[in-house]
Amino acid sequence: MNAQRAQEISDSPNMITVAYKGQPIYIEHVDQSNGVATIHPIDNPENKQSVSLDELMEQ
């Protein structure tokens, strides 16, 4: 996923389905300069992690 689209999804008031390794996730923050995003599984907001934007897929 490109950084601009990830930021659009993060800023959107609507729920847009995104997956990381097949698991639905929520994008908390996008670091466009480093190409990473802080995410968490939709069903586990405590499990935050930083991942490469290349690993995120819009569903």
Domain spans, the chain: 3-58
pLDDT at position 17, please? 93
CATH number corresponding to 3-58: 2.30.30
12 contacts: CB under 8 Å, gap ≥ 6: none
**Spatial CB neighbours of 45, under 8 Å, sequence gap ≥ 6:** 26
pTM, two decimal places: 0.90
pLDDT (tens digit, 9 = 90+) per residue, 1-59? 999 999 999 999 999 999 999 999 999 999 999 999 999 999 999 999 999 999 999 99
Q: What is the pLDDT of residue 13?
A: 95
Per-residue pLDDT at 34: 97
